[in-house]
Amino acid sequence: MPIFDTHCHYNLDPILGEWQTQWHLAQKNDITHTTIVGTDIQTSKQALSIAKNSKNLFASIGYHPGTFEEHAPDFVEGQTVYSERINTELKLIKNELLEMVSTGQPIAIGEIGLDYYRLRSKGLKREVLSDLQKKAFKLQLEIAAAHNLPVILHVRDQAERTHSNAYLEVLEIIKQTTPKKFVLHCVSGPLSYITAALELGAYIGFDGNITYPQAKHIREIFSITPTDKILLETDAPYLAPELHRGKICEPWMITETAKYLEGELKTDLAQIYHNSFSFFDINNNARIKQYG
């Protein structure tokens, strides 16, 4: 059964250095198409560059919210907030992404969103970084809307956090700037959030961690997701499925996740394959008709 890997990082180490070999191995294991997802300006450009090598490789471009944490000292130090640097960073992100949309061929914007998982519950640094994430998220949603592109969302937070919660804030922002289509990549979060997102038309992306014995919550999310809204992802080099857990996740390993969905969760893989083309609006009707 063919597989469309809707979220993979051929543009990140350690896969980047051998992406051709990895892509060849993936194809031998029935992965017919792959979307390479950017996490910042550099990796977005790499995604576009790699995608040029095959008609079945696609690129998504975006600025991952967690990237801001790596550069936090550039924006806030002690009680000092460097507003000018923040504005410059946001302008740079916007201009670079617009240039890539204009000169490249991205099929989506992402991965973008909000990630408060490692942020403290209170404090100036949290306030600055969460605000910066929201501003970057909104401007990228606007780019997606202006260019009629679907959006790949990365959303993560502490499960017990109720104040200034990333899941709830993402939904509010999505309602203000509704993208053409959006997927909750590597899904997590409370069922109330999932249900609300589905009501807004969300697709849900499932990765190798759905195969983990303790991942009951993810399987519960899977059980309430309509069959025509399910996407399959590796997130390689992360989240190897249970059979390969502890190893670097290689793109071909998505086949193990697919087998699990089909065997343990009684999933129609042909429907998921069809969903993938539908989400990205890829003009491949013959293939969709053949397998869908």
Q: pLDDT value at position 292? A: 31
Largest CA distance in the chain: 60
Q: Please, which pLDDT band fits residue 1 given cuts at 50, 70 and 90? A: confident
Judged on CB neighbours under 10 Å (0-12, 13-18, 19+), 196 is middle
Distance from C-alpha of 135 to C-alpha of 258, rounded to nearest angstrom: 36
Which stretch of DSSP H or E encloses residue 91? Answer: helix 83-103
Nearest Cα neighbor of 51 from 84, 26, 20, 27 is 20
> Rg of the chain's alpha carbons, rounded to an integer?
18
Q: Please, which pLDDT band fits residue 282 given cuts at 50, 70 and 90? A: confident
Q: pLDDT value at position 286? A: 34
Distance from C-alpha of 154 to C-alpha of 274, rounded to nearest angstrom: 23
Distance from C-alpha of 292 to C-alpha of 271, rounded to nearest angstrom: 6
* Long-range CB pairs of 159-165, under 8 A, 24+ apart, other chains included: 159/190, 161/116, 161/121, 163/121, 164/116, 164/121, 164/126, 164/130, 165/116
- Do the bridges between strand 151-156 and strand 108-115 make them parallel or antiparallel, or are there none, so unpaired? parallel
56-112 confidence digits (pLDDT tens): 999 999 999 999 998 889 999 889 999 999 999 999 999 999 999 999 999 999 999
Q: Please, which pLDDT band fits residue 287 given cuts at 50, 70 and 90? A: very low
When pLDDT is averaged across residues 206-220 and rounded to a whole number, the result is 98
Q: pLDDT value at position 284? A: 47
Q: pLDDT value at position 186? A: 97
Q: pLDDT value at position 241? A: 98
Distance from C-alpha of 14 to C-alpha of 11, rounded to nearest angstrom: 9
Judged on CB neighbours under 10 Å (0-12, 13-18, 19+), 46 is buried
* pLDDT surpasses 90 at 194: yes
Cβ–Cβ under 8 Å, residues 64 and 39: yes
113-125 confidence digits (pLDDT tens): 999 999 988 889 9
157-188 confidence digits (pLDDT tens): 987 777 779 999 999 999 998 888 999 999 99
When pLDDT is averaged across residues 207-233 and rounded to a whole number, the result is 98
17-69 confidence digits (pLDDT tens): 999 999 999 999 999 999 999 999 999 999 999 999 999 999 999 999 999 99
C-alpha pair distances (Å), 51 with each of 83, 225, 231, 287: 36, 30, 20, 20
Percent of residues, the chain, with pLDDT higher than 70: 97
Q: Tokens at residue 155, please?
A: 């959303």
Q: pLDDT value at position 164? A: 74
Q: pLDDT value at position 288? A: 29
Which stretch of DSSP H or E encloses residue 176? Answer: helix 166-176
Cβ–Cβ under 8 Å, residues 6 and 205: yes
Provide the residue ranges of all domains of the chain, joining segments of one domain with +. Answer: 3-291
266-276 confidence digits (pLDDT tens): 999 999 999 99
What is the fold of 3-291? TIM Barrel (3.20.20)
Total-model pTM: 0.94
Q: pLDDT value at position 220? A: 98
Distance from C-alpha of 4 to C-alpha of 120, rounded to nearest angstrom: 37
Distance from C-alpha of 34 to C-alpha of 272, rounded to nearest angstrom: 14
Cβ–Cβ under 8 Å, residues 182 and 153: yes
